[in-house]
Structure 1
Amino acid sequence: MARTALTSNIKYLSSAEFRDLIVALKTADPSSKFHKRNIAAFLIAEYCGLRASELGLIRISDYDPNEKVLRCRRLKGSVSNVLKIIDPEVLAAMEQHYFEYLKKPDHSQYLFASKSGKPLDRRTLDVLMKFYCSFTSVSPDKHHFHTLKHTRAMQMIATPGVNLRDVQWWLGHKYIANTMIYLNYSVEAQAELYKKLENNLM
């Protein structure tokens, strides 16, 4: 019963909705001094499947621009990991913010920091999510930053050849049961499973 309730409450963005969000990130407020930071923050959070609080923990030293890898500090019992950024759009946004931020003499140790130098917090990121989503057709019930983590999970689950263990490792889930809720909810993943079973019957 608990699992059914949990899966029915998962909110994530479709591919079209996520593209709309990216467009909004790039065009809604280009004059803001936090423009590049916000684009990078949202793309990195979705790509790595990070909670808002985990995004705020990222330090400048956690990113290796030579290897293109980022250390993800996971919370709430999850397992920290190091992910290579292979998506060109995500990498470009990350490096534009990273190198520009390093040039600031008063930069914080945190890569995604507020104007006071403190880590961006969940409340601020939720406000930003609502702001950018207001320029899209994304329904209000998805205007929460945590939706990005669910979006990444659902994207991976629906990717042919990617299995639950892959998703578990990527998201830093300590237990596979935490990953399985996405499989239970993914129509695409269920269709892929039936396809595999049908192929074995031939």
Structure 2
Amino acid sequence: MSESQDAPRDLTALSVARMGRLAATGDPWEPHQLLTASGEVVVSVAAFFGELQAAGRSAATQRSYGMDLLRWFRFLWSVEVEWQRASRDEARDFSRWIQITTKPARPHWRSPDKPAVVRPKPTNPVTGKRPPGRVYAPSTIAHCETVLRSFYAFHLEAGTGPLVNPFPLARARRAHAHHNPMDRFEPQRSGLYRPRQPKRIPRQIADEVFNDLFTRLSSDRDRALVAFWVSTGARAAELLGVLNGGADPGQQLITVVRKGSRALQQLPASPDAFVWLRLYQQQIHGLVPTGPDDPVWWTLRRPFRPLNYHAARAMFVRANNLLGSNHSLHELRHTAAYRLARDPDMPITDVQWVLGHASLTTTQIYTTPTAADVVDSVLAHHQRRTQPQQPTEETTLRYRQESLDVLFGRRRP
């Protein structure tokens, strides 16, 4: 008999300690490991990571899954339940706990011994974005539920886990009940403990804000990067992985490796992006390798190393701090998508190809107007209503000249 059948678990008094960690190994065969508090590898998670790698999932995906599994194992370690013996009661309590609990604060890397302090931050006055909340976002909770259900489904099929998946699917409902015929049909069954997620509109960077942000970039390399991001719509990691052989200024094309399919794809870019790229290449000429298989983007300080995502993000954060904004690198992709989708001469299927979306439905979200656009449009409407309308020749009611000629006898009907 489980503990929940004897007495409900007191979640208000539960303290989930920050024990264990997800460690990056640098080994391509096992990029990440989930370690216990004593430093031992969690074998069940290592087997699951091997399954993900065999299915073609990247190391970044394994890290994302590993963070969700780390939250789950910390919860199990705190309630003293082995992962093989976890039941629906533990899954239910974990789902309740993660929706209410406060996210653990991370100590600063410069002072790891000092206790971490969470200070609430106000809404950014430039972008209007709220900072990350103190509780887990619904998208994080939903992703965690999906990962844990997949983890136990894998061990259930392998015969190494419990006989019943602790994270079951939702109970079957009447097919397409209360379905809006204008909306697409969603999958009928999802996780039982999967929270509902609000529909969010991708956030773009306004043109005037982008211009101010661009002027605060400190090097030609940074200007070239941002110009490529905002003109190609490539993801941050996709552009950072471009090689010298993939840049074709004559055709205004740059070749990236797509995140999901890992396929090579040429993306058109703006002429300004290649101008900034040429200026940057002239500055680093003779300092870094320039072979066709060498990376395009390098750090600015010695020793020169290929530019990674964290360094590029730090560059963009510094430019944001000068402006007082908090835009993210991914918003440059959203900005490019909005600009392409609003061009009346640009087919939406072409936008889908540029963004690399598998479904056209994903691309169509960029046709939704933003709140700022709607406000400007409505205010312009009210402004037009206050102005007197001048009658024009097309709108003035007039008799036909043929009728006047007949009326006054100028010609016979």
Q: TM-score range by the shorter chain?
A: 0.7 to 0.9
CA contact (8 A) 1:153 1:171 kept: yes
Does the alignment pair 1:134 with 2:321? yes
Which of 113, 130, 140 is matched with 2:298 structurally?
113
Q: Indicate the residue corresponding to 1:200 in structure 2.
A: none
Identity, in percent, stands at 20
Q: Aligned partner of 1:184: which letter?
A: T
Written as runs of structure 1 = structure 2, the 5 A alignment for 1:1-202 is: 5-8=198-201, 10-25=202-217, 29=218, 35-77=219-261, 80-85=264-269, 87-101=270-284, 103-107=285-289, 109-114=294-299, 115=301, 116-136=303-323, 138=325, 140=326, 142=327, 144-186=328-370
How far is the alpha carbon of 1:4 from its aligned partner?
Answer: 7.2
Q: Distance in 1 between matches of 2:208 and 2:262?
A: 29
How far is the alpha carbon of 1:50 from its aligned partner?
Answer: 1.7
Return the TM-score normalized by structure 2: 0.38
Go from structure 1 to structure 2 and tell me whether the alpha carbon gap of 1:159 and 1:117 turns closer, same or farther (over 3 Å shift). Answer: same
CA contact (8 A) 2:252 2:271 kept: no
Give the SS at the match of 2:297. Answer: coil
Go from structure 1 to structure 2 and tell me whether the alpha carbon gap of 1:134 and 1:172 turns closer, same or farther (over 3 Å shift). Answer: same
How far is the alpha carbon of 1:154 from its aligned partner?
Answer: 1.0
Q: Distance in 2 between matches of 1:79 and 1:186?
A: 32
Go from structure 1 to structure 2 and tell me whether the alpha carbon gap of 1:79 and 1:170 turns closer, same or farther (over 3 Å shift). Answer: farther
Q: Distance in 2 between matches of 1:184 and 1:110?
A: 37
How far is the alpha carbon of 1:91 from its aligned partner?
Answer: 2.4
Go from structure 1 to structure 2 and tell me whether the alpha carbon gap of 1:163 and 1:110 turns closer, same or farther (over 3 Å shift). Answer: same
How far is the alpha carbon of 1:148 from its aligned partner?
Answer: 0.6
Higher relative contact order (CA closer than 8 Å, sequence separation 6+):
1
List gaps (5 residues or longer) in structure 2: 1-185, 187-194, 378-413
Q: Distance in 1 between matches of 2:277 and 2:350?
A: 23
Q: Distance in 1 between matches of 2:237 and 2:251?
A: 25
Go from structure 1 to structure 2 and tell me whether the alpha carbon gap of 1:7 and 1:182 turns closer, same or farther (over 3 Å shift). Answer: farther
Q: Distance in 1 between matches of 2:238 and 2:274?
A: 19
Go from structure 1 to structure 2 and tell me whether the alpha carbon gap of 1:7 and 1:79 turns closer, same or farther (over 3 Å shift). Answer: farther
Give the number of aligned pairs. Answer: 176
Give the SS at the match of 2:213. Answer: helix
* Partner deviation per Cα, 1:20-56 (whole Å, 9 max, x = no partner): 111112xxx3xxxxx2211111111221112221122
| RMSD after superposition | 2.8
Q: Indicate the residue corresponding to 2:37 in structure 1.
A: none
How far is the alpha carbon of 1:131 from its aligned partner?
Answer: 0.7
Go from structure 1 to structure 2 and tell me whether the alpha carbon gap of 1:153 and 1:48 turns closer, same or farther (over 3 Å shift). Answer: same
How far is the alpha carbon of 1:67 from its aligned partner?
Answer: 2.8
Q: Aligned partner of 1:37: which letter?
A: R
List gaps (5 residues or longer) in structure 1: 30-34, 192-202
